[in-house]
Amino acid sequence: MQPADRAEIEGNDLAQATMSIVDRIRPHLATIAAAVGAVLVGFAGWTIFSSQQASEKADSWDACLSALSAGDVAKLRDVSGRYPNTPAATWSQILLADGALAEGCRMAFVDKQRGREQCQVAADLYAGVLAQRPADLAGERAAFGLAKAREALGQLDLARQGYETLAAEHADGPLRSVAEERAKAIARPVVAGWYDWFDAHDVKPEPTPDPATPAGGAAERLLPGAGG
């Protein structure tokens, strides 16, 4: 048999095998086409969804950084509401908590009640962030902030536990050594004694003078000879 004849026969066999396969799948062509179409539609939908997510993530960071640079608390709150479940929203909540804690610590020496209220706001914000189980640095920052807020509120046992948990769960984190130091510090009797002393003193703001009261006040006017 000549090579040309052999090639022709093999070609015919291949053609027959191919047509046999085509005949088998011909009844299922509509189903196959529908399945391929569904896959393509799903891929297109996922591509659009991913693109939208990337765009939303970029927008959320732009809004967060803009609010931070402006020092605008209302805009930071807006980021949390407009872009839920994004890293920018998580950090906006942490920044809001940081601001409330700083204000609470400052007010504690001027108006203790208002200071405690702000520290409690901070503690609630940090706890809300931790409830979302954020990863890495955001989780570490929220845990550290919550421990600080509890320390500022005089809840020393809870604060110490928070610092110790942070040090254990974030052994490689940047706040581990600070947390360990704070845990040891508030465990010392002298530190606990200071917090007890401070808690026993109710600091209130100076009363605002009544604009209608003349200089010297009512007491001066009641003194003999006062007013001429």
72 compared with 144, residue with greater pLDDT: 144
pTM of the predicted model over 0.75: no
CATH number attached to the domain at 33-203: 1.25.40.10
Q: Look at residue 47 and tell me whether its pLDDT is greater than 50.
A: no
- Averaged pLDDT for residues 219-223: 38
Query: What's the pLDDT tens digit per position in 73-101?
Result: 787 888 877 888 888 889 999 999 999 99
Burial track 56-95 (b if 16+ CB lie within 10 A, e otherwise): eeeebbebbeebeeeeeeebbeebbebbeebbbbbbbbbb
3-state SS record for 42-72 = HHHHHHHHHHHHHHHHHHHHHHHHHHHHHCC
Enumerate the domain spans of the chain.
33-203
Tokens 């108006």 sit on residue: 111
